[in-house]
Structure 1
Amino acid sequence: MEARARVLAAADGRARVRVIDREEGCGRCDEPGGCRSVKLAYAIRPARSEFDVPDEIGVAAGDEVVLRMADGSALRGALAGYGLGAVLMLAGAMAGLAIGGGDGAAVVGAVAGLALAFVLNRVLHRSRRWRGRLHVEMLPAGTLRVHDLPESR
């Protein structure tokens, strides 16, 4: 996944960047059959456009760069952030029901599962190994982007 960005500030090996081109789904939001999912998601919470990233190339404010994240990184992050919570909430609810406490025990189990997911996500967030797998690479703006390559025939 790649996006163009402009450097807002750079210091101490970090850069604050603002994404200047954002792909927004398939582009069929207002066409017949379009799902409008991107518009719905942004109505709930606007997409972030400013990020702090490691400055490994020596940029200055005003420079244009390309931000690149390895394929699958966003999915791994989303699964950890949302999937883990959903799975542990359901597992907790099922454990509460298995104990035989009825609906009240299922609710307590679901809350316990969510609390465990919260703790596990905090541990993952602090893990250098995990964060390294979600690394965002910053490249000079003239870097050839993967989707700019001509199709092979």
Structure 2
Amino acid sequence: MIEASAVVERVEGGRAWVRLRERSGGCGRCDEPGGCRSAGIAYALKSPNEIFSLPNAIGVEAGDAVLLRMHDGAPLRGALLGYGLASSLLVVGAGIGNAVASGGREDLFALMGAGIGLVCSMVFNRLVLRSRAVRGGFEIEMARVGAQCHAPEGLRA
């Protein structure tokens, strides 16, 4: 699980508005040789002081410290679904457009095919993200700081 600590800024209408306390670089190897520098990219794309909302399923109040958790593979799956599918369909559409063209119009048809492939990926992503099963893999879970998972009675060691 990817975890980050946050503080609840306010609670309104069943939602908790939280602010991250620190912006870690994911795996912790950001400044080491071979690190991906994801923290620097995150700072460039999004303000570290941004407040965002989550469902208040655990009944937190303003000022509470919380721990935000996300499944390890969720960022990669999201990137593949968003960028990988779009890139693939763009290239496939351009290839199909080029293949069906004739008479010196290959570039025009390749451009049209690429545009159609990109639009198809956008529509597909919209439809897929309506699925609860797919969205469930990207959800952020909120837990109180110090809260621990408790195994059912029969599973305790």
TM-score range relative to shorter protein: 0.7 to 0.9
Coordinate RMSD, CA, aligned: 2.4
Q: Identity rate of aligned residues, in percent?
A: 46
Q: C-alpha separation between the residues in 2 aligned to 1:53 and 1:34?
A: 30
1:128 alignment partner in structure 2? 132
Q: Say which is worse superposed, 83-92 or 17-26, in terms of deviation.
A: 17-26
Distance 1:47 1:114, change over 3 A: farther
Structure 1 residues 40-84: Cα deviation after superposition (integer angstroms, max 9, x where no partner): 5643x2256432212211001111100001121121111111111
How many Å apart are 1:127 and its aligned residue?
A: 2.3
Q: 2:93 & 2:69 partners in 1: Cα distance?
A: 37
What is the rounded CA distance, in whole Å, between the counterparts of 1:41 and 1:60 in structure 2?
A: 28
Q: 1:50 aligns to what?
A: 51
Match of 2:30 in 1: 27
Moved over 6 A (4+): 32-35
Larger mean CA deviation between 110-119 and 13-22 belongs to: 13-22
Return the alpha-carbon distance in structure 1 between the equivalents of residues 73 and 122 of structure 2. 22
Partner in structure 1 of residue 109 of structure 2:
105
Say which SS state the counterpart of residue 126 (structure 1) adopts.
Answer: coil
Q: Secondary structure at the match of 1:66?
A: strand
Q: TM-score, normalised by structure 2?
A: 0.78
Unmatched runs of 5 consecutive residues or more in structure 2: 150-157
Q: For the residues of structure 2 that align with 1:55 and 1:35, how far apart are their CA atoms?
A: 33
TM-score using structure 1 length: 0.79
Letter in 2 for 1:130: V
Aligned residue for 1:56, secondary structure, equals coil
Tell me how far 1:108 sits from its aligned partner: 0.6
Aligned length: 142
C-alpha distance in 2, partners of 1:5/1:63? 9
Q: Which runs of 5+ in 1 are unaligned?
A: 146-153
Partner AA of 2:140 in structure 1: V
Aligned partner letter, 1:91 = V
